[in-house]
Amino acid sequence: MVCYFLRLVLVGAIFYCFSWWGMVSAQEYSLRFYGHGPTDIDRVKIPIDAPHRPADVSHNFTIEFWMRAQPGDNTATVCAADQWYYGNIIIDRDIFGGGDYGDYGIALGNRRIIVGVEVGNNGTTGVCGTTIVDDGNWHHIAVTRNASNGVVRLFVDGVVDATSSTSSNTGNISYRDGRPTSYPSSDPYLVLGAEKHDYPGSLYYKGWLDELRISNTIRYSANFTPPSSPFTTDANTMALYHFNEGTGTIVNDVSMATGGPSNGTLMVGGVPPGPAWSSMSPFAAQPVELDAFSAYRTPDGSVRLFWKTLSETGTESFIVQRSTHTDLSWKTIGRVAAHGFSQEVLQYRFTDTDPIANIPLYYRLEIKDLDGSQAYSPVVSVITQADKILNISPNPFSKDLNFQFADTSPWSIQIYNALGQLILTHRGYGERGQISGEHLRPGLYIALIEQDGFRWVLKAVKN
């Protein structure tokens, strides 16, 4: 579970900033694949037949997971649905040749997600995504398949990334129960991280995988907020893997679906051996526990950055990066060496002595580890109140809470209670937003409002 605490820092009368804490309350693990192959290594194999397992979904489905891959580690250049098996394969439910019901796969190609689905020998339906996902950050990937019209849709971080046309790849796509095969050690399996047949020319996934959920329904039909904590099971969950075992060679399906569990086995091999248990997770602290990263303008016009680490595990350095509202690319403006290993609170400072005057500025830290991997801090901003005006009324409120924006750009509003728990999220666009607060208990609430990359943190009181 991840808890967020928000703090508003007032510096002088005109400048303010937003700072961030992250905290973790339970050990999380993920699986790290090294891209080894062939010879049936560096993958997870989940048997789905003899007996049939619920992970073998048949009609409508949603397959979603978190992934993290470093740039350059996955080299496939294809990005076409009917060539998904030449990508760096993340999920493989192929059948050698045509599947008499159907088969499908999810891979990385040209740094994007490829999805291919085929019933019989109908020709493949699917998508090649648009978003680059091998950027060293965790991404939530969701693939939905509509059994009545054959449409396949890809969401990256809750945003529609690509949608296929309708097709004749409709109906049942499952592995037919008891289907005879010449490939008994690969066909009747769902395979993670590899091409299950070690087909010549296929490539293997190099990166992290966490929190895989397979559902027998289309969970998403429009943009959504990606989950901020592990999934819990429900009636439509056919398989759910938290990958939190942290040891051994079994991954447990905790869906409790009828006919399950659809447990899988790690096929460990290669140098270094993969798949390996990793303490990295989209919901876990990074190898460095960063705290209180904040930025503010000083009276002399420079921008002072401040952050703390609660612990460091092989941390090499902090690369300070800056962007502006109009130029969203990140420019490196400095480097601060880390201590490396520590279990004590350490404080860091950096001063941007040549900031751009009079425009909003954004800062982040690229956190480099000694093993060459990298992660990014949350973004903090230094903005002026004069840049954008936001009003919230009435305050205190008893029923509706109204937000007045300075322009019509899309915005989001998150309401937290006094304990820092997220109560509700609201998105929209236009100069006015409204939240119905009738059902909220009396007390103090904190609204985190975002528009155009700007952030506001405001207090509101419910009577």
Q: Find the binding residues for Ca ion in span 30-59 (CB under 5 A).
A: 52, 56
Q: Find the binding residues for Ca ion in span 259-288 (CB under 5 A).
A: 281
Segment interacting with Ca ion, rule: CB under 5 A, options 152-160, 202-210, 294-302, 307-315: 202-210
* Least Cβ distance, residue 161 to Ca ion (angstroms): 23
- Residue among 146 and 281 whose Cβ is closer to Ca ion: 281
CA separation for the pair 124, 389 (Å, rounded): 51
* Least Cβ distance, residue 248 to Ca ion (angstroms): 15
* Least Cβ distance, residue 211 to Ca ion (angstroms): 5
CA separation for the pair 228, 201 (Å, rounded): 37
Considering the rule CB under 5 A, would residue 174 count as an interface residue with Ca ion? yes
Residue of 177, 234, 431, 438 interacting with Ca ion (CB under 5 A): 177
CA separation for the pair 77, 88 (Å, rounded): 9
Cis omega (within 30 of 0) for bond into 410: no
Span between the terminal Cα atoms of the chain, in Å:
31
DSSP state string for 128-177: E-SS---SSS-EEEEEEE-TTT--EEEEETTEEEEEPPP-S--S--S--T
CA separation for the pair 127, 460 (Å, rounded): 44
φ, ψ of residue 450 to 5 degrees: the values are -130, 140
- Residue among 103 and 312 whose Cβ is closer to Ca ion: 103
Q: Six-digit token pair at 253?
A: 């399906």
- Residue among 209 and 446 whose Cβ is closer to Ca ion: 209
Q: Find the binding residues for Ca ion in span 119-158 (CB under 5 A).
A: none
CA separation for the pair 2, 78 (Å, rounded): 37
Closest CA to 54 of 174, 158, 165, 153: 174
- Tell me how many residues contact Ca ion (CB under 5 A): 14
Residue of 16, 20, 66, 175 interacting with Ca ion (CB under 5 A): 175
- Residue among 210 and 316 whose Cβ is closer to Ca ion: 210
Residue of 42, 64, 92, 94 interacting with Ca ion (CB under 5 A): 94
* Least Cβ distance, residue 155 to Ca ion (angstroms): 20
Q: From residue 273, how far is each of 41, 193, 269, 277, 373 by CA, in Å?
A: 9, 13, 5, 10, 18
Q: Find the binding residues for Ca ion in span 297-356 (CB under 5 A).
A: none
- Residue among 202 and 294 whose Cβ is closer to Ca ion: 202
| Interface characters, 208-247, with Ca ion (x: CB under 5 A) | --x-------------------------------xxx---
If DSSP codes are grouped into helix, strand and coil, which group holds residue 335?
A: strand
Q: Find the binding residues for Ca ion in span 403-442 (CB under 5 A).
A: none
* Least Cβ distance, residue 415 to Ca ion (angstroms): 28
Contacts of 235 (CB under 8 A, 6+ apart): none
Q: Which residues bind Ca ion (CB under 5 A)?
A: 28, 52, 56, 94-95, 103, 174-175, 177, 210, 242-244, 281
